[in-house]
Structure 1
Amino acid sequence: MIFHVSIEADDPRHIAQVIAELWGGIATPFPPVIEGSWVALAGDTRNSLIEVYPRGTELVEAEGDADSYGVHGSESRRSATHIAIASSLSQEEVLAIAQREGWPAKYRKRGGAFGVIELWIEGSQMIEVLTPPMQKEYRETLTIKGWTDYLASVGVMPEAATA
């Protein structure tokens, strides 16, 4: 189970506000790690949240009995980090938000199994947004059995599959 993830953005406040809008939650400042950070809270039963740090923030280990903290690092705008989030909005509503923000977005069917909307926040970081019908597809197909069956269908066998 994932409780929260963190991403980086040029405008953390705005990004947290848009994610909160997709969730029907709220966005607030998130000062524990580095100044300028924001967080989107879903308000769901799992207390899901997404921390949004200023671009270039790097989390580093603190000496002794202290929390990790953020520093500014590279200027890269792309990352392999992405998240998939549920939204109660329709596909049309999600795409309208993307259009309003000027962000690339499109519907994609992953492996022929479940749909997502690729939403590229600030044009550089992907969030996969799943509408209610897409969430149903995801829950029905992305099980351990469903995934291992898919791997077998494309000729890939996991080396260390465990149950």
Structure 2
Amino acid sequence: MLHHFSIAAENPSRVAHALAEVLHGECAPFPPCPGSFMAIALDNYGTMIEVYPAETELMPGFGTEQVTFSSNAFASPFSATHVAISVPTSQQKIEQIAAREGWRAVRCNRDSYFDVIEFWVENKLMIELLTPPMAAKYLEFMQPQNLAKFLSAPEEPVSV
């Protein structure tokens, strides 16, 4: 069960407010890291997205100390990290939010198994959003018996 995750953004407040809107939740400052905000879904799972300033890096503490926040002015604006989230929001509303923010949002099919909306936060970080119908199809695909069939399928030959 995923409860929360963090991302970096050029404008953490703006990003957190837009994500809170997609989640049908609330936005609030995140005090442990100055300049950071939280998009809180206000659901029964504690779903939250922490949004840190772009140059923020999480560093391990020393010995038994907890995580520390560091700043790297040369951090890349791109990342291999992404997440898929089921949201109670329609595709039309997601596209409206993205358009208002000037961000890319495009519905994509993942190998005919399920669809997602690639929601590109600040056009740098991809979050795959699944509307309720998309989430149902995703969950159907991810059931253990269906994954077993998928994983046991013969690999397609690659032509060179």
Q: Determine if the alignment matches structure 1 residue 75 to structure 2 residue 75.
A: yes
Looking at structure 2, the residues matched to 154 and 17 of structure 1 have their Cα atoms a distance apart, in angstroms, of 45
Q: How do 1:60-139 and structure 2 match up within 5 A?
A: 60-73=59-72, 74-139=74-139
What does residue 44 of structure 1 align with? 43
* Amino acid across the alignment from 1:44: D
**SS of alignment partner, residue 58 of structure 1:** strand
Task: State the shift of 1:65 in Å.
Answer: 4.3
Task: State the shift of 1:43 in Å.
Answer: 0.7
TM-score (norm 1): 0.88
Deviations 1:10-68 (A, max 9, x none): 01111111110001100111121x21111111011101111111112111122244321
Give aligned-pair identity as a percent: 40
Deviations 1:63-95 (A, max 9, x none): 244321211123311001111122212111111
**SS of alignment partner, residue 137 of structure 1:** helix
* Aligned residues between the structures: 155
Looking at structure 2, the residues matched to 144 and 50 of structure 1 have their Cα atoms a distance apart, in angstroms, of 28
Looking at structure 2, the residues matched to 135 and 96 of structure 1 have their Cα atoms a distance apart, in angstroms, of 20
Looking at structure 1, the residues matched to 129 and 49 of structure 2 have their Cα atoms a distance apart, in angstroms, of 13
Looking at structure 2, the residues matched to 47 and 83 of structure 1 have their Cα atoms a distance apart, in angstroms, of 16
Looking at structure 1, the residues matched to 37 and 79 of structure 2 have their Cα atoms a distance apart, in angstroms, of 19
Looking at structure 2, the residues matched to 146 and 19 of structure 1 have their Cα atoms a distance apart, in angstroms, of 31
Which structure 1 segments of 5+ residues have no match? Answer: 157-163
Looking at structure 1, the residues matched to 119 and 154 of structure 2 have their Cα atoms a distance apart, in angstroms, of 27
TM-score (norm 2): 0.90
**SS of alignment partner, residue 79 of structure 2:** coil
Q: CA RMSD in A?
A: 1.5
Larger deviation: 23-32 or 57-66? 57-66
Deviations 1:95-144 (A, max 9, x none): 11111111111001112111110010100000111111001111111123
Looking at structure 2, the residues matched to 115 and 31 of structure 1 have their Cα atoms a distance apart, in angstroms, of 36
Looking at structure 2, the residues matched to 45 and 122 of structure 1 have their Cα atoms a distance apart, in angstroms, of 28
What does residue 55 of structure 1 align with? 54
* Amino acid across the alignment from 1:30: F
